[in-house]
Amino acid sequence: MEATRDFTKFEIARILGARALQISMDAPLLMNISDEELNAMHFDALKIAAKEFYSGVLPISIRRPMPLKTGAKLQPVRDDSVDDEKIVEKEKEVEKEIVEKAEEMGLVNEGDTEDAIIEDSSGGSEE
């Protein structure tokens, strides 16, 4: 069980999964396991991999790269605040583009107003 002290649970899961995949692809076992034990484990590759891992026969090491420390200071965050007037102006531009494209595609007639469009779409089901 000393092997678990060196690895996190995520690393153990990755190691066991990789070794189980190798075993399922007919890789040779790294330790002698009797036929009775294999039958008891139902020839499960994950259980065999766990047995190899916890017995300490897997030749594996984990590299944990540490972030590089630089002496440079962090740059201050730029404050790109936008006025409400600019937001409203941008919304009007986008709305104008949408109306122009809808007229080009024939989705809206030039004489229609927004109220007429809303009434046409909702008024057909009432009788």
pLDDT per residue as tens digits for the range 87-109: 888 899 988 888 888 777 766 66
Question: How many Å apart are CA 76 and CA 73, to the nearest integer?
Answer: 9
**What pTM did the predictor assign?**
0.50
pLDDT per residue as tens digits for the range 62-83: 888 888 877 777 778 777 777 7
Residues in the chain: 127
Mean pLDDT of the 30-50 span: 91
CATH classification number, 3-55, choose in 3.30.420.10, 3.90.940.10, 3.40.640.10, 3.40.50.1820: 3.90.940.10
- Domain locations in the chain as residue ranges: 3-55, 84-125
- Give the end-to-end CA distance of the chain in Å, rounded to a whole number: 76
List, as one string, the DSSP characters of 35-58. Answer: HHHHHHTTT-HHHHHHHHHHHT--
